[in-house]
Structure 1
């Protein structure tokens, strides 16, 4: 917990003293790349410069900066050797790079709506593309719809489409989650980077539960992002998780991922439902924007 606090303080200090090394206006947003010492960060809006989309240590690009990125690897406590990975929302390409290093034979498809973000990831964040790692310029929901028509399936689907400080509303609805579920392999997992403290928390939780049933919240520090793990059939036993932690710990250590600590932040909703049973589910007709009306 202490090291997470130190990381947060460093990022706060970064915001105050960073130099802008690249800035452009894309079709969707303002894009900034800032540097302070060894830290380089991608940001999407001049007005919210304290909120970074992706960061890397220039001297050690392997080492992950953000807690939410590290929490995403709780997915590997639920699945073995994913070979087909879908990432919606590229950022700096950090997740894609790490997964490719961990599983070099896996096929990784990165979907990003903004072509400028892909170019910045290549030019400033060492985003790696190979015959196994691809990037596609497309809205994530359209991509999933077309993947379903093609009967494609993925072992690991990562939803990381934060646009500044919010998630596009069409990527938070029951209909979208049903589409995601349709392209999830039988033993696959969905990992969503999302809210741990906002007005949307209860509605989002209710919506995931309506589509996937019981899911797992992964949170290791108060008022940070949470990772939702959904789509699994059975919760692994404590013995299974202990075995996987032992196996994964040395593999994830170079990325500064403490998988043992992360495993302790996993909590199933099966006996811990923390939203009212009458919480309204988000749909294409009742979207997150409507919540601002009350």
Structure 2
């Protein structure tokens, strides 16, 4: 999709694990320190993440928000979108959906890409303030942010802005071209978070161990992004062009959860 630049969903007949960015979201729920009950996925696409959540956290209701009904239709036909009986799909834009719902979520997943860009209005103080108001006490938000090896400008902008609205923000360079930013409604010491990760699903042990080892704390930005100023596209363009100009190869290495 997106001019051939992006893969938004993967389906395998033998496993919900992919070795790709969709698996990273599965490592986040143990950080909450309580059962996962309600999840919102902003950018549901064909339902890869929702399907996996249904296997590893079957008690959780998942609200999958997808802007394009054609993508949802493809997900139902080819990607096992209906495999999770606790998935409810909404055709809506992410931010208006959050504004209109009264639901409080344990986890909000933001994966609404039009690669290579993150929508700027999902990376501002105003959006993060709205998202926090839709979290249950002690909940978290996790965002998938593009990166190139050694260049964290985009992720730093997102994490620094998020840290102006959330008391604890972690970053995780899980893949060469994907950095994950996690904001917590309530802070917790690193030792507590590591202990919680050790109590996660056994099949995800290699992934949660990776998160425990590599997560970093982000600090609030001096000039956070706002609805009036969020230079996401400029930073993304420069990041990609500079990487390509140096002869960088756009090859990804799989996570340890790869089948």
Establish whether residue 45 from structure 1 lines up as the match of residue 3 from structure 2. yes
Instruction: Give the superposition deviation at 1:53.
Output: 1.9
CA distance in 2, matches of 1:239, 1:286: 36
2:58 to 104, 113, 121: 104
Q: Distance in 2 between matches of 1:89 and 1:105?
A: 21
Matched, 1:61 2:15: yes
**1:260 partnered with 2:209:** yes
* Cα root mean square deviation, aligned: 2.6
Cα deviations by residue, 1:165-204 (Å, 9 ceiling, x for unpaired): 1111211111111110100111111111113446433322
Structure-2 separation of matches of 1:167 and 1:214: 22
Partner of 1:155: 106
Q: 1:115 to 1:169 in 2, by over 3 A?
A: same
Q: Does 1:214 align with 2:168?
A: yes
Match of 2:184 in 1: 231
**Pairwise mapping of residues 1-294 of structure 1 onto structure 2 (< 5 A)?**
43-46=1-4, 48=5, 51-58=6-13, 60-66=14-20, 68-79=21-32, 80-128=34-82, 132-147=86-101, 150=102, 152-196=103-147, 197=151, 199-221=153-175, 223-238=176-191, 241-242=194-195, 244-252=196-204, 258-269=207-218, 273=219, 278=222, 280-288=223-231, 291=234
> Would you say how many aligned residue pairs link Structure 1 and Structure 2?
233
1:190-226, CA deviations, whole angstroms, 9 ceiling, x for partnerless residues? 11111344643332222111111330111244x4211
> In the TM superposition, what whole-angstrom CA distance separates every residue of 1:254-274 from its partner, at most 9, and x where no partner exists?
xxx6321232121122xxx4x
Please list every run of 5 or more consecutive structure 1 residues that lacks an aligned counterpart in the other structure. Answer: 1-42
Give me the whole-angstrom Cα distance separating, in 2, the residues matched to 1:170 and 1:72.
21
Q: Which residues of structure 2 form unaligned runs of 5+?
A: 239-259
- Aligned equivalents of 2:16, 2:228: Cα separation in 1: 42
**SS in structure 2 at match of 1:215:** strand
TM-score, scaled to structure 2 = 0.79
Task: Answer with 1 or 2: which has the greater Rg.
Answer: 1
Please tell me whether the aligned partners of residues 174 and 180 of structure 2 are also in contact (alpha carbons under 8 angstroms): no
From the superposition, tell whether residues 251 and 201 of structure 1 become closer, same or farther in structure 2 (CA, over 3 Å): closer
Q: Per the alignment, in what secondary structure is the counterpart of residue 285 of structure 1? A: coil
Which structure has the higher relative contact order (CA within 8 Å, separation 6+)? 2
